[in-house]
Structure 1
Amino acid sequence: MSMRRRLVLGISLAMGLASGLAAGQAHAGMWLSSPDLAADGTLTAPQAWDRDGCGGKNLSPALRWGGEAPTTKSFALIIMDADVKKGFRHWMVFNIPAGVHSLAAGAGAADGKALPKGAVQALNDFGPKGYGGPCPPPGQTHRYVFTIYALNKDTLDLNPDQPAGALESLVLTHALDKGRLLAKSPRFEAPEKTTEKAKPADEKPAPKAEPATSGPKPAPGEIPK
């Protein structure tokens, strides 16, 4: 092989490698993170379920994401308990606009007022719409998979009252890419309720009863026998 041909081939390989690196930097894959997790990736008490014996505040964590394909038209978010057989969906949000890359803490409230315009929440597997926090059985710690999907449609034609499994299948049909976050959570027990009734502030203590005597009381001036 001539020196000239080797030089041309070397330049071509270098250009191809540079092009591949540039493409990799342009779309390295989706990511998802939360500033509300503890340092070890654990959800905190405010994010836990607030019923069924669990003592959280049911506050959805703040989320951030990026790295989606340039052809993305909308996002969908699903949170699943990975340690429940067949899965247990804690939060499902659809039709998040493509220009949105974060959800504020508490955005999963049932009224949906803190969600981006156009976003829709579905029923979680507890029953109501919106976010349902972790509530594993006593003594257990479960893993929770947060997945943000980049979709090829601006809006999904869905009924938010449909079963969660059917909605998840619709998301997967239109998914271009996804980013995942794995968190864990123990059970945060609700504080025990006290059954003792508090006395009214103005209630006076009951008078002490006089000790009983075995015989009649002595008359005034009489010395007791």
Structure 2
Amino acid sequence: MRRLVPAAALAACLVPGVMTGTARAGMWLSSPDLAADGTLTAPQAWDRDGCGGKNLSPALRWGGEAPTAKSFALIVMDADVKKGFRHWMVFNIPAGVHTLAAGAGAADGKGLPKGAVQALNDFGPKGYGGPCPPVGQTHRYVFTIYALNKDTLDLSPDQPAGALESLVLSHALDKGRFIAKSPRFDAPPEKAKPPEEKPPAKPDTTKPAPGAEPPPKPEPGPKPEQVPKPEQVQEPPK
């Protein structure tokens, strides 16, 4: 007697992307804010250094992560800069969250899910830093969402971006990504903002400033009095 295969099970085997048994379709990441050709738009571009965007992070959504994932981390990188350039880094995104709204990358972090933390980007400030390639160039921007095996990463958001990236990779179970392109969106000269100010470096107080006279050497003080050694006392003969 032949065993009949249920129609639903047969359909699941034939339709791409439908999971059967323990197989998974894989993790994915997408954005509804990309242009039809997959490029980022002017509002998502950086708003300084001669670029005229609004620095508005795109909306994101993801899924298909490993079932053991405990949190997510997001890294956005310019792939056309030597050694990479980090435009946005978010970690400690709760495991139940699968979307970020447009503008969630604002520096104040109010648009992020509860518990999520933004790190410093390579422009200098925290939060999202939009595309701003050199004049006449179009760069590729890699958006990657990582599923992690840890609820929270024990790292200060003020740490260098490279340290956070290494920690994310060491706890990654799965990842989904897409690549978007962006040309440079120039700002009109009258509306161009100055570059983002970075905190000044702390002065080195151990070295004199250039051109400054060396501090005077302290005058020698009085020498301490020599304490005479006590003379050896001989005991009288018994």
Q: TM bucket by the smaller chain?
A: 0.7 to 0.9
- TM norm structure 2: 0.72
Aligned to 1:91: 88
Q: How many pairs are equivalent?
A: 181
SS at match of 2:66: coil
Partners of 2:174 and 2:24 in 1: CA distance:
11
Partners of 1:144 and 1:23 in 2: CA distance:
35
Choose 1 or 2 for highest CA Rg.
1
| Cα-to-partner distance string for 1:92-117 (whole Å, 9 max, x where unaligned) | 00000000000000000000001000
Partners of 1:91 and 1:145 in 2: CA distance:
10
SS at match of 1:167: helix
Name the % identity.
87
Partners of 1:27 and 1:72 in 2: CA distance:
14
Aligned to 2:21: 23
Aligned to 1:199: none
Structure 1 residue 191 displacement after superposition: 1.2
Does residue 51 of structure 2 align to residue 50 of structure 1? Answer: no
Structure 1 residue 23 displacement after superposition: 3.3
| Cα-to-partner distance string for 1:174-212 (whole Å, 9 max, x where unaligned) | 000000010000000001329xxxxxxxxxxxxxxxxxx
Aligned to 1:150: 147
Partners of 1:23 and 1:91 in 2: CA distance:
36
- TM norm structure 1: 0.76
The equivalent position to 2:106 in structure 1, one of 109, 120, 124, is: 109
| Cα-to-partner distance string for 1:143-169 (whole Å, 9 max, x where unaligned) | 000000000011010111111111000
Q: Which amino acid aligns with 2:130?
A: G
Does residue 168 of structure 2 align to residue 171 of structure 1? Answer: yes
**Which consecutive unaligned segments of at least 5 residues does structure 1 have?**
12-17, 195-225
Relative to structure 2, which stretch is displaced further, 185-194 or 94-103?
185-194
Partners of 1:176 and 1:27 in 2: CA distance:
14
The equivalent position to 2:128 in structure 1, one of 128, 131, 143, is: 131
More helix by share: 1
Partners of 2:86 and 2:38 in 1: CA distance:
19
